[in-house]
Structure 1
Amino acid sequence: MSETNNALHRVARGMGIVLAGTVASMFLTFLSRAIIARHFDRYQYGSFTLTMTVISIAMTVALLGLQSGLPREISRYLKDRREKVPALVSTGLAMALAASMLMVALTVSLAPDLARLLNDRYIDKTLPLAAPALPFMVLTMLLVAVSRGHGRVRENLYYRNVLPPLLFLIILVAGLLIGADFTFVFLAYVLSQALSSLLLVRESCHLGFLPGRPILDWKIARELFLFSLPLMLTGILDYVMGWTDSLMLGYYFDPDTVGLYNGAAPIARLLPLFLNSMGFLYMPIATAFFTGGDIDGLRKLYRTTTRWVFILTFPVFLFVFVFPESAISLFFGSKYTDAATALRILSAGFMFHVMMGLNGMSLIAVGEPSANLTGNLFASMANVALNIVLIPVYGIEGAAVATSVSYVTANLYRTWWLHRKTGIHPFGRNYIKVLAPGLGLAVAITAIGVNDNLLTAIPVTVAGYLVYLAAILALRTVEVEDVELLDALEARTGANLKPLKKLLARFISGG
């Protein structure tokens, strides 16, 4: 089996673990959000969203981009400077933890000003309550990054995806059952992050990922900072693209409008679920291909993962895009269904992001993190400008348009730069044959105007996806790597996949 196919199998196996964790995390987070949205009024849910947005931005700054830079550097050091890995890990942790403490102080001090700016009567109290979670969140992210650099995914599953949202849900429900008020939500959040982080520290020590004593290497610190700085700025701009809409809705309107909009936005953010899961192990493998000079292997890895991700994501997109009211009612209840149009707009933007594949991670793998920064800069400028123009006139629909346009802009730039640097792009002949029937089907069902209720939405979505799968088989989009992947899964699980392999083999593309 070729090195490329071996790499695809490693990504797929890792994706299974990461996907399980991501699904669990999203489910638990959605459940917590739904409880908060239903238990408190829409204004308080909007205030919760604004508080978490500020905390997330502060965390992104405190991480200094190390959550992406550290795995790549560990992967490189393990090849030829293994003895320096403890210093690399210790230095990265020291940098980020120091930054997190500064961000705690800054967040608390700015809370009254943010309350006035965002027209929020709660945030000057909720931000100081939530800010102590920052060092624990940063520590968790970096220890997961360290395990990722060693090619492990289990720490991400247990200590980032599952444990924090599960503990938050348990503590939240227990508090609400005994009559806790709105501010308890944030105390529950801090406690869940602290417990998860401390358990991960214990596990990391057991695995030998942490040095026996702190080691601060200024040369390594400078290298890490210079490489990770564009990643930090890119991460900040990611949040500008993803959360400026909520912040500016708070500025122009109030948290009630933010709450309504966030009956739609979290659902749209479900769409990159498979993309993000695939990406967790993608970057170290893609880096190995690039540093080994195997551009053809990198191209095949990028195109194959992009095609898999679109096929897996399509039924979720079909449901959310065609039946937005049903999707919102299912998760957040009928009092948020006025955000249906915003959800349809957002889902189109996030699906475009999915369609373009792991272009951002590919740019990091080929040593071009600044291209991500530039793309996000253009997209963020467009986002802010469009929000200023559209929100006062169109409200949450204007915010949705601004966010979607920003994601399209960023992905077009990243894909163009990746092609310029390596000659790689996602649009092979088979991928076009995968895209066309799916997008055409979504537009056709929407144009027909099927009733938007759950009793209709679920069977139509299932039937539509089956029609789509039949269409891409008939168009012979199956590749040899797909059948080889089933061979690996069969050997790993003991399941009898011969009928499926035999079926797919009949539809393998001729080229």
Structure 2
Amino acid sequence: MNRALQRIARGTGIVFAGTVISMALGFLTRALIARSLDRSHYGVFSLTLTVLNIGLTFALLGLANGLPRELSRYYKKEPERIPELVSTALILVAISSFMIGAVTVFTAPFISGILNEALLPPALRLAAVSIPFIGLSRVFISVSRGAGRVRENVYYQNIVVPSIFLILTVIAVLTDRGLTGILLAYVISQAAGFLILTFETLRLKFLPKRPVFRGGLAKELLLFSFPLMLTGILGYIMNWTDTLMIGYYYDSDTVGLYNAAAPVARLLPIFLNSAGFLYVPIATVFFARNQLEEMKRIYQIMTRWIFLLTFPLFLFMFAFPEVMIATFFGTKYVGAATALRILAAGFMFHTFLGLNGMSLTVIGETNANLVGNFFAAVANIGLNIVLIPLYGINGAAAATAVSFIVANVFRSGWLYRKTGIHPFSVSYVKQIMAASAVLGLLLIAETPSSGIWGVLVVLSLSFAFYLVLLLVMKSVEMEDIELLEAVGKKFGVNLDRVIKLLARFI
């Protein structure tokens, strides 16, 4: 179990580093786009990517999440059939991606009419070209993930593609190409990423010498992954209905304002998603051996670490939303500060309960994810219909936050009923109490902000106080010590003093 934790932690560190770089590049690109376009054109850009992501969910057929788990099984059962499995998955996604791309092109005027945005059809037609490239690239990443590798996700998906997009966006802005130039930059960057990943996958010999399609494997993949596709669709409804319905009730200018808050709030699950990258294939091995107690312990420890790392970012968003938005997007978007605070609470709750959805996938309960997302999506749509006309973007934020709470409560309840797994160890409860105390003090104090640097000083002191509280409450566990020792040995860093200090508070 400790070796598994260390492997997940190393993978989490690598994936997190790549994700941070990707997020930084994405934020730079988004900020550049937001500052160079007016709010209505930025809203069109946001709507285009929203529709594109919904189409991609259909195109992937759930294989992006189902394939890593199936590959883990085949590596144990029939490793010689891995190339056939990968080739079959790629053919399935290639066909569906081209179909979804064509449907997006032909239905662009209809989508534009629903969202009341005349500039949307040409933007959608141009962006739809990227759907096959993105779909096939994500299959390559899933193959790498199923093999327990993180390199392809980090180097190519997180660094190369966002870097190319940023560079091409800078060129488009400098040459005054407007929204069309930015969307063209997006398409070219995705095509370049697909070509690079294709060569890398061939080099690693994950593919057969010639394309192979096996009907039996396709059926097996689709039966397992189809609920995941529906779950993904409902997940996108939870994530993107707010943007689409703001476009329906208001205009692209309001969409642009809201999309200064939404991308920032979606940063919060960064550690959760990074940890989940290797958690699924590793936890699958424990489940296959019927080692549920070990799996539960891994789940609890990972949840504690994820919460600890996410808490400072949540403090920033919740206590100082105006400063965060103004720093990244400019003062013209500060009106989205309350929406950011509401969204941050919803996404933090998602992080608070840990890797529940991925654990349900590990134990084969994909239908539970589907049912949970269905209830959450219905709640999201209903609340958006009621709240957006009354409260605008703040109503949309509240609808999204509630939908994430509903989904996570359902998933965690189902997971506990089936396996007895839950995140609430004694140490984790202490962490939550300490975090609540720090957040409460920060809000009661009503600390005036003096720009980004003053806020960072306040946040640093608050987090330091939080760490002291954790030590005083003795929330350190032996696995924390063992992990630090492993990290120190791995990177050649002497952590003896830190380890001795922490050992006093076990």
Scaled to the shorter chain, the TM-score interval is: over 0.9
Query: Quick one: which amino acid aligns to residue 122 of structure 1?
Result: L
**Amino acid in the other structure paired with 1:478:** V
Tell me the distance in 1 between the aligned counterparts of 2:302 and 2:332: 38
Matched, 1:348 2:332: no
Does 2:486 correspond to 1:488?
yes
Aligned mates of 2:63, 2:38 — CA distance in 1: 38
Partner residue of 1:478? 476
Retained in 2: the 8 A contact 1:159–1:197?
A: no
Partner AA of 1:202 in structure 2: F
| Aligned-pair CA distance for 1:443 | 2.8
Q: Among residues 143, 146, 150, which one is paired with 1:146 in the alignment?
A: 143
2:346 maps to a residue whose letter is G
For the residues of structure 2 that align with 1:203 and 1:361, how far apart are their CA atoms?
27
- State the match for 2:442 in structure 1: 445
Aligned to 2:233: 236
Cα displacement string for residues 91-121 of structure 1 (whole angstroms, at most 9, x for unaligned residues) = 1111111000010011011111111211212
Query: 1:78-477, aligned counterparts within 5 Å?
Result: 78-452=75-449, 453-477=451-475
Q: CA deviation at 1:229?
A: 0.3
50, 53, 57: which is aligned to 1:53?
A: 50
8 Å Cα contact 2:37/2:178 also seen in 1: no
Residue 442 of structure 1: how far off its partner (Å): 1.2
TM-score by length of 2: 0.99
SS in structure 2 of the partner of residue 215 of structure 1 = coil
CA shift, 1:451, in A, is 1.7
Long gaps (5+) in structure 1: none
The amino acid of 2:333's aligned partner reads: Y
| 1:159-200 Cα shifts (integer Å, max 9, x gaps) | 111111110000111122122122111111010000111011
Deviations 1:226-274 (A, max 9, x none): 1000000111111100110000000000110010001111111111111
Shift of 1:389: 0.2
* Structure 2, gaps ≥5 residues long: none
Shift of 1:368: 0.5
In 1, Cα distance between the equivalents of 2:310 and 2:118? 39
CA distance in 2, matches of 1:360, 1:477: 26
1:455 CA displacement: 4.3
CA distance in 2 between counterparts of 1:451 and 1:211 reads 61
Question: TM-score scaled to structure 1, two decimals?
Answer: 0.98
Aligned residue number for residue 25 of structure 2: 28
Q: Is the 8 A contact 1:93 1:139 kept in 2?
A: yes
Q: Do 2:127 and 2:183's aligned partners in 1 also have CA atoms closer than 8 Å?
A: yes
- Separation in 2, partners of 1:392, 1:97: 40
The residue aligned with 1:42 is: 39
- Counting aligned pairs with the same residue, the percent is 53
Contact 1:328 1:337 in 2 (8 A): yes
Aligned equivalents of 2:20 and 2:173: distance in 1?
A: 25
Residue identity opposite 2:437 in structure 1: G
Q: 1:498 corresponds to which residue? A: 496
Q: Tell me the distance in 1 between the aligned counterparts of 2:303 and 2:386.
A: 34
1:502 deviates by: 0.6
Q: CA deviation at 1:398?
A: 0.1
Question: CA RMSD, aligned part only?
Answer: 0.8
Q: Contact 1:307–1:431 (CA<8 Å) still a contact in 2?
A: yes
By how many angstroms is 1:212 displaced? Answer: 0.7
After superposition, what is the alpha-carbon deviation per residue over 1:253-304, rounded to whole angstroms, capped at 9, x for unaligned?
Answer: 0110010001111111111111111110001111111110101110011000
* Deviation, structure 1 residue 444: 2.8
Q: Report if the CA contact (8 A) 1:140-1:159 is conserved.
A: no
Q: CA deviation at 1:84?
A: 1.3
What is the SS of the residue equivalent to 1:132?
helix
Letter in 1 for 2:310: T
Mapped to 2, the partners of 1:239 and 1:195 lie a distance apart of 26
Please state how far the C-alpha of 1:147 moved relative to its aligned partner. Answer: 0.7
Query: Which residue identity is paired with 1:108?
Result: V
Q: 1:433-484: CA deviations, max 9, x gaps?
A: 0011102321331233222442432111111000000001111111111110
User: Deviation string for 1:106-139 (max 9, x for gaps)?
Assistant: 1011111111211212111100000010001011
Measure, in 2, the Cα distance between the counterparts of 1:439 and 1:280. Answer: 29
Q: Give 2:316's aligned amino acid.
A: F
Decide whether the 8 Å contact of 2:84 with 2:207 is kept in 1.
no
